[in-house]
Amino acid sequence: MNSLTEENYLKALFNLAIENGEVSVNELSKHLQIKMPTVTSMMKKLAEKKLVSYESYKPLRLTEKGRREAALVIRKHRLTEMFLVEKMGFGWEQVHEIAEQIEHIHSPEFFEKMDELLGFPRFDPHGSPIPDKTGKMEWLHYSKLSDCKIGDTVRLAAVTHTSEDFLKFLNARELKLGLKIKIKTIESFDGSMLVSYGKHSSEHLSGLVCERLLVEKE
Amino acid sequence: MNSLTEENYLKALFNLAIENGEVSVNELSKHLQIKMPTVTSMMKKLAEKKLVSYESYKPLRLTEKGRREAALVIRKHRLTEMFLVEKMGFGWEQVHEIAEQIEHIHSPEFFEKMDELLGFPRFDPHGSPIPDKTGKMEWLHYSKLSDCKIGDTVRLAAVTHTSEDFLKFLNARELKLGLKIKIKTIESFDGSMLVSYGKHSSEHLSGLVCERLLVEKE
DNA sequence: TATTTGTATTAGTTTAATCTAACAAATATA
DNA sequence: TATATTTGTTAGATTAAACTAATACAAATA
Ligand SMILES: [Mn+2]
Ligand SMILES: [Mn+2]
Ligand SMILES: [Mn+2]
Ligand SMILES: [Mn+2]
């Protein structure tokens, strides 16, 4: 059984490896805010447990076993976030920190029950897919809002950042998942947009915000 | 902030000190299944934090601060058990182990929300009182079933043991909190009883079982 | 009271997870 | 290519929480 610490390393490796499957010690160190020598020694330990393939000076890579165990921690995290929002009445901006702790509870029954009570949801409150019990996760064909063109009408499908500040910012503008958004203008020099959605006929979104919103083109 | 380990020591001290407020290193060591030298050194640490009053070779005693912090951990434990039973559909025999982990989550909002959704319950699924937010806990005037007399009619109010085995044993006999129980006979040599309750007109309960059932006399 | 038994402490070791300082390898730059 | 910078590793220290072995104290018993 993996410790809380090991689970956090696995999760970080999984999330950082989305693109090419490779992660550097440096990246991981920065992401976890843990110094490089500590990361190196944990990688040796996880390699010992066959969760990571590690060779000196080579990029890190989760093994199949490591990928599965990481996905199962992420499953617990996302089910928890969904439960907190759907069954306990928390806002989507409040749940990440709590889930960060509950994801380490060791009790298959507990998460099974959550899953069941939620009706086996496929996405968490921020639009991220929930891995299944075998650790498989379907990756979706979303685009960043910042990559869309003037005139496009898109549906807000997910957010890539889950900090309380950012989500409160979206709350204040009534930007929720599922909303239809129309792009009116794009400022090419800073990537900011003027968009309309719901009752909001003209909202200005900075380039940074547009980068963090994932949309589905209709 | 107290670590998970410290929280477990505080809780154990609180539970063992119910009678006279004093606990020996030996008792605590046995209860936690941790060797005495480890307990001694943790007591010094908790004394440093003003949670325990410790002098060599003297009995251990929680300070007022220690008592309050212990009660707040127990509050988290019992609210969790209640939530698992009432809101998630677990049986009372399944919840202790999960609560043993969730009691260490650091999030006032999470437990506030549970409390609220449960309608501010005063007892957990095993009949134990839930301390309030300030750490106060009302202790009730229950008797052991084993201390009752032939002919007494009592209401099952709480159980003093929460192991899965014991609670499954009670489930099998449909013994639930709130039931009215009538004592038909008592075997003086082993303390076992013949009782009737609900649809059960004549059930035999061993002395051990009778010791673990707390009842309210009518 | 002297001795035995049980309880508690001290001293020193272990493991997990972190750190800093020093050094080595790989990569980027001049 | 030579040098500088960035990245990664090694060595050694630290802290929390556990352990064992040895020793000291306290309580019970002879
Ligand atoms: Mn999250
Ligand atoms: Mn976490
Ligand atoms: Mn319990
Ligand atoms: Mn616990």
B155-187, pLDDT tens digit by residue? Answer: 999 999 999 999 999 999 999 999 999 999 999
Chain A 15-34, CB < 7 Å to strand D: 24-27, 29
| d(CA A31, C1' D25) / Å | 53
Q: Which nucleotide is nearest to A34 (CA to C1')?
A: C18
Chain B interface mutation, best of A7, A88, A94, A111, highest count of B Cβ atoms under 10 Å: A88
Question: Which positions in strand C are less than 7 Å from the protein's CB atoms?
Answer: 7-12, 16-22, 25-26
The domains of chain A are located at 4-62, 75-139, 143-217
Of residues A94, A98, A107, nearest to B98 (C-beta): A107
Q: Which of helix, strand or coil describes residue B36? A: helix
CATH entry, A75-139, from 1.10.10.10, 3.30.750.24, 3.40.50.300, 3.40.50.620: 1.10.10.10
Confidence of residue A218 (pLDDT cuts 50, 70, 90): confident
CATH entry, A4-62, from 1.10.1740.10, 1.20.120.1200, 1.10.10.10, 3.30.70.640: 1.10.10.10
Of residues A88, A102, A107, nearest to B117 (C-beta): A88
Q: Tens digits of per-residue pLDDT, B75-127?
A: 999 999 999 999 999 999 999 999 999 999 999 999 999 999 999 999 999 99
Instruction: Let me know if the fold of B4-62 is the same as that of B143-217.
Output: no
- Homologous superfamily in CATH for domain B143-217: Ferrous iron transport protein A (FeoA) (2.30.30.90)
- Report if CB A37 to strand D is under 7 Å: yes
Using a CB–CB cutoff of 8 Å, tell me whether A94 touches chain B: yes
Residue with smallest Cα–C1' gap to C8: B57
A69: pLDDT strictly greater than 90: yes
- Global confidence as pTM: 0.94
Q: What are the chain A neighbours of B7 within 8 Å (beta carbons)? A: none
